[in-house]
Amino acid sequence: MKLANTHPTVHLLQKFCLFYNERNLESLLDLFSKTHKPFIWGTGVDEHLTTLDEIKNQILRDWSQSEISQIEFTANSFIHSDFPNWASGAFSAMIVIQGNIYKHPHLRGSIYAIQEDNDWKICHMHVSFPESTQPIGNSFPTESLEYAAA
């Protein structure tokens, strides 16, 4: 995976993907702020992370439940502001679990970063899969929502 020399937070997103794909825990954790409390919303309802230990445990959980886990991006998938602190991107995910390949073409991620010791560090990250049961053009995934009579 080639890293582009771009916007600082886009570059952080790219490094996150690279280190996650390489399963390089030390380099991944080094991307996060040490002076400000990190905050991550993950794709699971139980993935609300507020410490580096929680982030580490979540990453290790991901890797323990898969033989391969890859996050891919394209150069044109990033959105960022004129300010260097925020960026988001569209990604695809490929996971191998017990020899079975699972692909999810729509993964979204965004980060907010700050400068620490002349380097950009992630303070906030949000990762989500769009609701696949929501038809294009509809605002709500009513097919998968639980109906509650008033």
Strand positions, DSSP E, the chain: 39-41, 48-49, 68-80, 86-97, 100-116, 119-128
For residues 106-135, average pLDDT: 89
The pLDDT score that the predictor gives to residue 83 is: 72
Q: Which residues contact 3 (CB under 8 A, 6 or more apart)?
A: 11, 14, 15, 18
pLDDT band at 141 (very low <50, low <70, confident <90, very high): confident
Q: What is the pLDDT of residues 71-117, one digit of tens each?
A: 987 656 777 777 778 888 888 899 999 999 999 888 889 999 999 98
What average pLDDT does range 116-129 have in this prediction? Answer: 92
Greatest mean pLDDT among 14-18, 19-23, 74-78 lies in: 19-23
Q: What CA–CA distance (Å, rounded) separates 145 from 148?
A: 9
- As to burial, measured by CB atoms within 10 angstroms (0-12 exposed, 13-18 middle, 19+ buried), residue 132 is exposed
* Percentage of residues in the chain having pLDDT higher than 90: 55
Tracing tokens 């609300």 back to the chain, one arrives at 48
Rounded CA separation 13/7 (Å): 10
Report whether pLDDT(131) > 60: yes
Task: Indicate the fold that domain 8-128 takes in CATH.
Answer: Nuclear Transport Factor 2; Chain: A, (3.10.450)
Q: Which of 31, 18, 15 is nearest to 113 (CA)?
A: 31
Q: pLDDT value at position 137? A: 86
Pick the residue with more confidence: 73 or 121? 121
Q: pLDDT tier at 5 (50, 70, 90 boundaries)?
A: very low
